[in-house]
Amino acid sequence: MNISTVKLEIPEEIIEEAQGIARGRNRSVESVLQDGLFMVFGKTEDCEASAEILQDFGDEQLWEIVNRRMPWEQDSRLRELSARGKRATLTERESRELEDLLAALDRQILLRSRALLEMKKRGLDVDSFLGL
């Protein structure tokens, strides 16, 4: 993975929350913020680590994960390749792309489920949200 450095202005309350998480987990603030960004952008591969990190998230952050959807471009491409794959054989490149998109969707669904579970453990009303 290539690493780039950017200057980013972050609200003080987010920094304070990240510092609290970092102290509690004996980690750097930078690593806590990176994990959060990886999770938000669907780039985390380690779902067990994601579940552990979710415990430190506030309720609002968990709701953000639950309500987050796959970016329109990826969703559109996933639908296109799925439909095309039902009608004809995909090229090797298209098959790999479809597998990657499905894997990203699976990770997102698993993360969403883990966020819902964490909220349920906290006593939040997720049943109403799910229509149960």
Give pLDDT tens digits for 20-39.
888 877 888 888 888 777 76
Distance CA 84, CA 22 (A): 46
Residue 36's pLDDT is 76
Whether the model clears a pTM of 0.75, i.e. scores above it, the answer is: no
Retrieve residue 60's tokens: 């609002």
**Residues 6+ away with beta carbon under 8 Å from 85:** 94, 95, 98
**pLDDT tens digits, 56-114:** 888 888 888 888 888 889 999 999 999 999 999 999 999 999 999 998 898 888 888 99
For all residues of the chain together, what is the average pLDDT?
Answer: 84
